[in-house]
Chains A and B, each alone.
Chain A
Amino acid sequence: MAELITHSPILIIAIPLLAAFLTPLIGMASQKARNAFVVGSLVFVTFLVFALARDISFNGIHVYTLGAASPDLSIPTGFMVPVRIILEVDGMSAFFGIIWAIVSLAAAIYSLSHIASETGQTRFYTLLLLMVTGGFGMMFTGDLFNLFVFLEIASISGAALIAYRTKFADTQEGGFKYIVVSAIASLMVLFAIGLLYAQYNSLNIAYLAQVIQYTTLDKIALAMFLIAFAMKTGMVPLHLWFPDAYSVAPASITGMLVITSHACMYAAFRICFTLYGGVINAPVVGWIIIIFGLLTMFVGVTMAVYQKDVMRFMSYHAVSQLGYMWIGVGVGLAVLGNAELIATYGRDAMSGGIFHILNHAMYKPLLFFTGGALFHYTGTRDLTKMGGLAHKMKWTTILYIIGTLSISGIPPLNGFSSKILIYESVYQFHPILTITGIIVSILTLASFTKAFHSAFMGAELPEYKGGKEVPRSMIIGMVILAAGIVFVTLFPSLVVDWAIHPAADALIDQGAYINAVTGAIP
Chain B
Amino acid sequence: MRRVTGWIVLIVLVAFLVWGVTLVHPFGDPDASAMDDYIIENSQEETGSNNVVAAVLFDYRGLDTLGEATILFTAVTGVLLLLRASKRKKETS
Asked if A and B form a direct contact in the complex, defined as CB atoms under 8 angstroms apart, the reply is: yes
On chain A, the number of residues with a Cβ less than 8 Å from chain B's Cβ atoms is: 51
Q: Within the assembled complex, what's the spacing in Å between the Cα atoms of A220 and B23? A: 11
Q: Which 3 A-B pairs have the closest CB atoms?
A: A160-B78, A201-B33, A149-B67
Residues of A within 8 A of B (CB): 17, 20-21, 24, 31, 66-67, 76, 79-85, 118-120, 123-124, 126-127, 130, 133, 137, 145-146, 149-150, 152-153, 156-157, 159-160, 163-167, 172, 175, 195, 198-199, 201-202, 215-217, 220
B residues at A contact (CB < 8 Å): 16, 19-20, 23-25, 30-36, 38-39, 42, 59-64, 66-68, 70-71, 73-75, 77-82, 84-88, 92-93
Minimum CB–CB distance for A122 against chain B, Å: 9
Query: Known: A119-B87, A160-B78, A166-B84. Contact between A84 and B61, CB under 8 A?
Result: yes
Q: Are A152 and B78 in contact (CB under 8 A)?
A: no
Contact check, B68 vs A149: say whether CB atoms are below 8 A apart: yes
Task: Given A126-B77, A201-B33, A217-B23, decide whether A66 and B71 contact each other with a Cβ distance below 8 A.
Answer: no
- On whether the beta carbons of B70 and A130 are closer than 8 Å, the reply is yes
Q: Return the contact of B35 from the options A83, A118, A133 (Cβ within 8 A).
A: A83
Which residues of chain A are within 8 angstroms of B68 by Cβ–Cβ distance? 149
Whether A198 and B64, one on each chain, are in contact in the complex, defined by CB atoms closer than 8 angstroms, is: no
Q: Which residues of B contact A119 (CB under 8 A)?
A: 84-88
Instruction: Report the separation of the CA atoms of residues A212 and B44 in the bound assembly, to the nearest whole angstrom.
Output: 31
In the bound complex, do residue B70 and residue A17 qualify as a contact, i.e. CB atoms below 8 Å apart? yes
Given contacts A21-B73, A119-B86, A220-B16, contact A149 B64 (CB under 8 A): yes
| Chain B residues closer than 8 Å to A216, beta-carbon distance | 20, 23
Q: Are A83 and B78 in contact (CB under 8 A)?
A: no
Contacts of B19 in A (CB 8 A): 220
Q: How far is the CA of A124 from the CA of B93 in the complex (A)?
A: 18
Residues B71 and A152 in contact, CB atoms below 8 Å apart: yes
Q: CB-CB < 8 A to A195: which residues of B?
A: 20, 24
A-B contact pairs, 23 of them (CB 8 A): A31-B92, A80-B34, A81-B35, A81-B38, A120-B84, A130-B70, A130-B73, A152-B67, A152-B71, A153-B71, A156-B71, A160-B74, A160-B77, A160-B79, A160-B81, A165-B86, A167-B86, A198-B24, A198-B30, A201-B31, A201-B33, A202-B35, A217-B24
B78 touches A67 (CB 8 A): no
Q: Does the CB pair A166–B62 fall under 8 Å?
A: no
- Bound CA span A175–B81, Å: 13
When chains A and B are docked, how far (Å) is the Cα of A153 from the Cα of B75? 9
Do residues A76 and B38 form an inter-chain contact, with CB atoms below 8 A? yes
By a CB distance below 8 angstroms, the chain B residues around A153 are: 67, 70-71, 74
Considering the chains assembled together, what is the distance between the CA atoms of A484 and B60 in angstroms? 40
Pairwise interchain contact A217-B20, C-beta atoms closer than 8 A: yes
Minimum Cβ distance to chain A for residue B56 (Å): 10
Across the interface, do A83 and B63 meet the contact criterion of CB distance under 8 Å? no
Chain B residue at smallest Cβ distance from A149: B67
Asked whether, in the complex, the Cβ of B63 is within 8 Å of the Cβ of A79, the reply is no
> Nearest Cβ in chain A — how far from B25, in angstroms?
6
Partner of B80, one of A20, A123, A175: A123
**Contact A67:B20 (CB < 8 A) given known A119-B85, A137-B67:** no
A257 and B14 CA atoms in complex are apart in Å by 32
Give the CA-CA distance A118 to B82 in the complex, in Å. Answer: 12
- Give the distance in Å from the alpha carbon of A24 to the alpha carbon of B73 in the complex: 11
| Assembly CA distance A76 to B71 (angstroms) | 30
Q: Which residues of chain B have C-beta atoms less than 8 A from A80's C-beta?
A: 34
**Most A C-beta atoms less than 10 A away, residue of B25, B34, B39:** B34
Q: Which residues of A contact B63 (CB under 8 A)?
A: 66, 85, 146, 149
Chain A residues with Cβ below 8 Å from B36 are: 201
CB closest residue in chain A, given B36: A201
Chain B positions within 8 Å of A118 at CB level: 86
Contact residues in B for A175 (Cβ distance below 8 Å): 82
Which of A81, A82, A160, A215 contacts B82 (CB under 8 A)? A160
* Residues of A contacting B35 in the complex (Cβ-Cβ under 8 angstroms): 81-83, 201-202
The one of A31, A83, A130, A217 that contacts B60, using a Cβ cutoff of 8 Å: A83
| Residues of A with C-beta under 8 A to B93 | 31
Report how far A519 CA is from B74 CA in the complex, Å.
Answer: 37
| Cβ contact within 8 Å between A157 and B78 | yes
CA distance A149 to B68 in the complex (A): 7
Q: In whole Å, how far is A195's beta carbon from the nearest beta carbon of chain B? A: 7
Using A119-B88, A146-B67, A201-B33 as known contacts, say yes or no to A159 and B38 having CB atoms under 8 A apart: no
What's the nearest-Cβ distance from chain A to residue B2, in Å? Answer: 12
Let me know if B23 and A150 touch, CB within 8 A. Answer: no
A145 to B85, CA, bound (A): 37
Please indicate the chain B residues that have their CB under 8 angstroms from the CB of A202 in the complex: 35
Do B38 and A79 touch (CB < 8 A)?
yes
Assess the B31–A66 pair: CB atoms within 8 A. Answer: no
Could you say which residues of chain A place their CB within 8 Å of the CB of B25? 198-199
Which chain A positions have C-beta within 8 A of B79?
Answer: 160
Write the nearest CB–CB distance from B54 to chain A, whole angstroms.
14
Whether A157 pairs with B30 at a CB distance below 8 angstroms is no
